[in-house]
Chains A and B, each alone.
Chain A
Amino acid sequence: MDSLNLILCAVAAAALDICILVLIITAYREKKSTKKNWHQVSSDMELAEQDKTYELGCDEVLIGRHASADIRLPDLSVSRYHAMLTVANGVWTIKDIGSKSGIFVNGELTREAVLHENDMIKLGNRRLLFRKRRDSRVR
């Protein structure tokens, strides 16, 4: 193989390398923008207790007594895996995932319910308010 061909092969390989690098950088930039977008679309809601607020940072939020739960409620009246909050098409839904004491939304026992702003959720002895995040409420 003569030197020109070798150079051409090396140039083609280098072009592909640079392209791969650029696409990886694009993927990292998209990570930032999708995170921002997610916060705008769905995370302007939060769960609030008397003195605590819990952010809803992903579309499936596990609530329970277990240490692995996204929202941990260390109370014996709450099951280890009590409820799952999910969002689809901008609608938040709460679902019972096999709890002992059930879920009450605005005083009604339910297995699954679509949540609206200012709904009161009762899990065991704990009461949580589903509301707009403080930042968006202030604005």
Chain B
Amino acid sequence: MYANPVAYVFSCIFVLIAHFAMLSNIWFNGNYTEVRDVAVLGAAVIILDIAYFAVILAFKQMSYALDFLLILIMGMSVIFQSCFGHVKLDVKHYITCIVCLAACKAGYMLCRDHKLLQDKKLYIYGAIGVMVLITLVFTSAENMWIEIGSFTLQPSEFIKPLFVLACATSIADQQKRHKILIFNVVYENIALFCIMAVICLVQVKSHDYGSLPTFLSIYAMGFLLRICYPKAKFSKKKLFGVIAVLVVFLLIGLKYAPDYVQHRLHVDIWSDKTGDGYQQSQALIGVANGGWFGVGPGKGFLANVFAYDNDIVFATVSEEWGLLYALMMVLVIIIITAVPLINPTRSYFHGSMSACVCAAFIVQMALNIFGSCNLIPFTGVTIPFISTGGSSLLVSGLMIGMLMAGQSPVFKEHKQKKQEDPEPAWRWKE
């Protein structure tokens, strides 16, 4: 049974209040033609909240903080996406959010027993292989998505949680060293490096350079935890060596990057406002237009700019809801990644998994926000939970499920067979 029922009730109430305050803002300040649209949006968000609060109780977790943060951000996401341009419930995004919540619970169920996952390590490698093949066969540089009805799937996105699992499952095998010539090597580390290299090649072939930093961050986190395992094996020399190699690779990559990437690196968005700098310049104008408190839900002009709901979603939210609210949205995601620091995980497996997931979330968010604000080249990476996109939301859900697994791992009592009391040796036998 959950040990903090009072905290549970208060968390539920305050999540509902936060969503209700947003809906009130739409009611008085939003751009809508019919009151029914606002009522439908409000009912959808509140019903989703209450249903989720009820469903999570069935999972009997030790910690629900991540669940509350997730439903808070998902409700915000539904409200934001439904308000862009005009207030009306975005049904497609709403369904995707429900799928994301379901994926989160699936991720939790899958990852909470680390011993089981470590035994099934080969299946994870196999799944990565299958996803890489699907990416190679069914997608191209022109079209990275597979269309299923009105939904589209990006297979390369699904490699992320599998890669996180591969990083985490192999952490326990760091002591299994094998001698090859004069080197002591760990097979799992070589396998992981090969997987990383293959993924990078596939991403380069698909011209999906935006996802590369996310995969590299997951690998870097996995690698860092490897050189720190066991605890005091952390070596500053190794760490500086790794950073130096990464910098060299980065410089080489930038020098030999394709022309359009080079152009993005050096483009002045204000002198090329109708070309490559269009989205970024419009995004910055939108942020400035919104100010601290925004122009009002549904009243922004960024909804007319291409990719307003995923690539430059931070700027669109800033314009309509204000920079203050957009920054708090970012804060919620940062707190989601900080929960494993508040309540540390109790195994290397869950620790590595949480670290890799947090690295992926932070890097993705940084690429999107800094890209929108012209601090780095525009990459087109999505913000977890906020941007539209079925694959992105599904994968984000799975990954937050992994974080939850670290918070509520399986520690069942060892069921020992009842042994009959041994007969005392001194008993008289007739």
List A1-51 residues whose CB lies under 8 Å from chain B: 1, 4-6, 8-20, 22-31, 33-34, 36-38, 41-42
CA distance A53 to B191 in the complex (A): 40
Whether A34 pairs with B328 at a CB distance below 8 angstroms is: no
Docked-complex contact B233 and A97, CB < 8 angstroms: no
Cβ of B324: which chain A residues have Cβ within 8 Å of it? 9, 13
A62 CB contacts on chain B under 8 angstroms: 230-231
Which residues of the partner chain B approach A69 to less than 8 Å between Cβ atoms? 230
The complex places the Cα of A97 from the Cα of B76 at a distance, in Å, of 48
Interface size on B, residues (CB 8 A): 64
Query: How near does chain A come to B5, taking the closest CB pair, in angstroms?
Result: 11
Judged by a CB distance under 8 angstroms, whether B29 is at the interface is: yes
Tally A-B pairs: CB < 8 A. 169
Residues of B within 8 A of A67 (CB): 232
Stretch at the interface among B97-105, B144-152, B343-351: B343-351
Q: Write the nearest CB–CB distance from A25 to chain B, whole angstroms.
A: 7
Given contacts A26-B11, A68-B232, contact A8 B24 (CB under 8 A): yes
The answer to whether the Cβ of B120 comes within 8 Å of any Cβ in the partner chain is no
B123 in the interface, Cβ–Cβ < 8 Å? no
Report whether A9 and B25 are in contact in the complex, using a CB–CB cutoff of 8 Å: yes
Residue A91, interface by CB 8 Å: yes
Interface positions of B from 382 to 407, Cβ below 8 Å from A: 407
Contacts A18-B14, A24-B342, A97-B175 given; indicate if A12 touches B62 (C-beta within 8 A). no
Are B230's CB and A8's CB within 8 A? no
Q: Mark B100-136, 1 if CB is under 8 A from A, else 0.
A: 0000000000000111100000000000000000000
Could you say which of A13, A22, A37, A87 contacts B62, with CB atoms under 8 Å apart?
A: A37
B256 lies within 8 A of chain A by Cβ: no
Q: Please determine whether A30 and B4 come into contact, CB atoms closer than 8 angstroms.
A: yes
CB–CB A12/B325 < 8 A:
yes
Q: Is B378 an interface residue (CB 8 A)?
A: no
Q: Check B328 against A16 for contact (C-beta < 8 Å).
A: yes
Question: Cβ of B10 < 8 Å from any Cβ of A?
Answer: yes
**B412 near A26 (CB under 8 angstroms)?**
no
Option from B22, B116, B177, B414 in Cβ contact (under 8 Å) with A91: B414
Complex CA distance for A29 and B62, rounded to whole angstroms:
11
Check if A88 sits within 8 Å of B410, measured CB to CB: yes
Quick check: is B17 within 8 A (CB to CB) of the other chain? Answer: yes
Tell me whether B236 is interfacial, beta carbon within 8 Å.
no
Known: A19-B15, A23-B14. A11 touches B342 (CB 8 A): no
Are the CB atoms of B335 and A66 closer together than 8 Å?
no
B342 contacts A28, C-beta separation under 8 Å: yes
B14, A12: Cβ atoms closer than 8 Å: no
Q: Which of A18, A23, A37, A41 contacts B65 (CB 8 A)?
A: A23
| Cβ-defined contact, B28 with A68, below 8 A | no
A59 within 8 A of B: yes
A67-121 at interface with B (beta carbon < 8 Å):
67-69, 81, 84, 86-92, 97-98, 116
A34 to B343, Cβ gap below 8 A?
yes
Contact across chains for A15 and B65 when beta carbons are under 8 A apart: no
Nearest opposing residue in chain B for A81, CB measure: B230
CB contacts (< 8 Å) of A97 on chain B: these are: 175
A119 to chain B, nearest CB (A): 13
Q: Is B296 an interface residue (CB 8 A)?
A: yes
Residue of A nearest to B344 (CB): A31
Query: Residue B72 at the A interface, CB < 8 A?
Result: yes
Whole-angstrom CA separation of A59 from B7 in the bound complex? 27
Chain B residues whose CB sits within 8 angstroms of the CB of A129 once the complex forms: none
Write the chain A residue with the least CB distance to B230: A62
Other-chain residue from B28, B64, B175, B322 in contact with A26 (beta carbon distance below 8 A): B64
| Contact assessment for B115 and A88 in the assembled complex, using a CB-CB cutoff below 8 Å | yes
Using A12-B21, A30-B65 as known contacts, say yes or no to A20 and B328 having CB atoms under 8 A apart: yes
Query: A1 to B28, alpha carbons, bound, how many Å?
Result: 12
A96 to B147, CA, bound (A): 50
Chain A residues near B413: list those with CB within 8 A: 41, 90
Chain B: residues with CB nearer than 8 A to chain A? 3-4, 7-8, 10-11, 14-15, 17-18, 20-22, 24-25, 28-29, 62-65, 68-69, 72, 76, 113-116, 175-177, 230-233, 293-296, 321-322, 324-325, 328, 331-332, 335, 339, 342-343, 346-348, 407-416
